[in-house]
Amino acid sequence: MSRRKIVAGNWKMNMTPAKAVELIAVLSPVVASDDVDVVFCVPSISIIPAVAAVKGTKIAIGAQNMYMADSGAFTGEISAPMLVDAGVSYVIIGHSERREYFAESDVMVNQKVLKAFEYGLTPIICCGETLTQREQGITIDFVRQQIKIALLGVSSEQVKKAVIAYEPIWAIGTGKVATTEQAQEVCAAIRVLISELYDEAVAAAVRIQYGGSVTAETAADLFTQVDIDGGLVGGASLKPDFGKIVNY
């Protein structure tokens, strides 16, 4: 089965709302593609102007996080219905920076994934090992556990629409990109896990991205691996080079 590629930019905590609109004007023409889904995951304060700025293009706007309740006394948080109302279609869940700096657990990731599906948002579910875990030889066990928990209670129809981003923590923002073999090995293992949890058809439908210091130079080799369906891109998504990554 051929899966449509998806390349998402994770802008992290960069760009004011005004700068976001300027950057979208620069990036929109260079990321245009008929073959690849393109998503800009912008800071929450820039979501509304970003949705307006991509109008008339095929670019989708994503959020970088959301909370697992619909509403209530959760100061500073943003909910799935708020994202939907603002015109968001994707949401990154369980990015390693959220896990590390904001103590997001696998259980919270699962709750957020379920909530995203409940509201029709496509979660980009992040997983990935530390350098120590890779050196200990437990990468695949660790990633399997993260994904197994993230998908608890998720139906096969839902999981088919999910995007999973394999992002080795040691490769994020470090300039150290995983080799194509390392990235393919883990993405293939994630697909095997999905076929065990669901079935082959579901596993064949799920899109799995690689993320971690992807550049215009490394994108083509990574994104043409059999189990890699595109990328989640941090630093390089803020530059015109992002167009080269999308059109690898």
**Catalytic hit among 97, 104, 129, 167:** 167
Site size toward ligand PEP, by CB under 6 A: 13
Q: Does 234 bind ligand PEP (CB under 6 A)?
A: yes
**Catalytic hit among 22, 95, 104, 185:** 95
Q: Which member of 23, 164, 233, 238 binds ligand PEP (CB under 6 A)?
A: 233
Contact at 8 Å (CB) between 87 and 51?
yes
Q: Which member of 10, 28, 111, 146 binds ligand PEP (CB under 6 A)?
A: 10
Q: Which member of 43, 62, 128, 211 binds ligand PEP (CB under 6 A)?
A: 211
Considering the complex, what minimum distance in angstroms separates the CB of residue 8 from ligand PEP? 8
**Residue 167 bears catalytic tag:** yes
Long-range contacts of 107-110 (CB under 8 A, 24+ apart): 107/149, 108/68, 109/146, 109/149, 109/150, 110/149, 110/150, 110/151, 110/152, 110/153
- What does each C-alpha distance from 227 to 7, 46, 49, 187, 244 come to in angstroms? 14, 32, 34, 6, 21
CA pair distance 65, 139, nearest whole angstrom:
24
Q: Does 212 bind ligand PEP (CB under 6 A)?
A: yes
Closest to ligand PEP by CB, 14 vs 195, is: 14
Bridge partners, 5 (sequence order): 36
- Which residues form the catalytic set? 95, 167
Binding site for ligand PEP (CB under 6 A): 10, 167, 172-173, 211-214, 232-236
